[in-house]
Amino acid sequence: MKKWLCSIAGLSFALTASMATSAQTNPGHPPNILGIQVDNVKPYLMAPYIKVAAKYPGVSISVKDPEHYLGMDSMSGATRSMYFFGYDSYEAMQKAIEAFMSNSANRAKFDALDAEEAPYVTESHYYLWHYRPDLSNNVEGADIPHTHYWEVIIFHMKPGHDEGFEELTKIYRDTNLKIGQNISWATYEPLQGMTDAYLILVPMTSLKDEDTGLAKEKDFGEALGEEGMHRMDRLTEDSVASVEDNIWMTDPASSYVEKAWVDADPHYWMPKPAMKPAAKPAPAAAPAPKPAAQ
């Protein structure tokens, strides 16, 4: 959403994250810098919030906005919506912000939507993340245009224990490969807005992927072995402070994605509007009364 750009633009660039949006010069690859906005929505007000959120892409199209974003809504945890913005670099992000801020007419259109959406939001959080290809897996195997669900995991680490996360990731990846699971995920480390954490984005075309993971738990444990299990337990105890693990559902109505995504799955990204019911024929006029007999 453009309100993310408005907020970042007010910060110093000295203070200035997914496979969500392809980087401008590296299509189909996780962006080097991922900007994430998380809106905390008031309980029981998700429906009116979503109605306003669905207006942003229309404005983006009307102003020929070069910036794309992916919207999704929480299926677990607190009531939230999340938006991803991808960039090759800080410099690319700066150019996008400056281009947006220089056009007051376009900015006013997004500001009006922000004001319309504000009554439904308790607070918004903004984060910048940096892609870690060495801690990711099989990103080229992900079918992002057909990804309708995301598992989003945040590992909050104890300070100074990054090596523990790196070892945990490698054990998990190697063990899955042993049982024939080459899961796609992208890993990010925080730049601004959060510290001592790692973000893992797991794309899923269907929630059936979760069923597959559950069915493979026994195979995973056997491949890991008792020694490997003890090693993972010790690394987790020593290195990890807490873990957030939630499922999110992509919202095509509040997303403004690249043309390649739309072409790959047009029925999902640009569904046809519901047909209006046919108008009922007007009731026939009542027959005129017969004249009284003379």
Confidence label for 279 from pLDDT (cuts 50, 70 and 90):
low
- Least trusted range by pLDDT, from 17-31, 157-171, 259-273: 17-31
Average pLDDT of the residues in 187-205: 97
Q: How many C-beta atoms lie closer than 10 Å to residue 59's C-beta?
A: 16
User: Who contacts 273 (Cβ-Cβ below 8 Å, separation ≥6)?
Assistant: none
Using a CB cutoff of 8 Å and minimum separation of 24, what contacts does 232-238 make? 232/168, 232/171, 232/172, 235/164, 235/167, 235/168, 235/171, 236/164, 236/168, 238/158, 238/161, 238/164
Is pLDDT of 21 > 80? no
pLDDT of residue 82: 98
Confidence label for 29 from pLDDT (cuts 50, 70 and 90):
confident
pLDDT of residue 132: 98
Confidence label for 24 from pLDDT (cuts 50, 70 and 90):
very low
pLDDT (tens digit, 9 = 90+) per residue, 149-163?
Answer: 999 999 999 999 999
Confidence label for 9 from pLDDT (cuts 50, 70 and 90):
very low
pLDDT (tens digit, 9 = 90+) per residue, 32-75?
Answer: 999 999 999 999 999 999 999 999 999 999 999 999 999 999 99
Record the pTM.
0.84
Alpha helices by DSSP H, the chain: 2-9, 46-53, 56-62, 90-101, 104-117, 162-178, 208-215, 217-239, 259-264, 266-269
pLDDT of residue 17: 32
Using alpha carbons, select from 40, 127, 130, 30 the residue that is nearest to residue 81: 40
User: Who contacts 84 (Cβ-Cβ below 8 Å, separation ≥6)?
Assistant: 17, 18, 20, 21, 34, 35, 36, 69, 70
Mean pLDDT (the chain) is: 88
Pairwise CA distance, residues 199 & 244, whole Å: 10
Is pLDDT of 28 > 90? no
Confidence label for 275 from pLDDT (cuts 50, 70 and 90):
very low
pLDDT (tens digit, 9 = 90+) per residue, 201-257?
Answer: 999 999 999 999 999 999 999 999 999 999 999 999 999 999 999 999 999 999 999
What's 139's DSSP letter? G
Average pLDDT of the residues in 80-87: 97
Pairwise CA distance, residues 132 & 33, whole Å: 10
Q: What is the set of domains in the chain, with CATH numbers?
A: 2-268 (3.30.70.100)
Percent of the chain scoring above 90 in pLDDT: 82
What's 13's DSSP letter? T
Percent of the chain scoring above 70 in pLDDT: 82
Amino acid, single-letter form, for residue 286: A
Confidence label for 138 from pLDDT (cuts 50, 70 and 90):
very high
Q: How many C-beta atoms lie closer than 10 Å to residue 102's C-beta?
A: 9
Beta bridge partners of 149: 204, 249
Higher pLDDT among residues 102 and 27, named by residue = 102
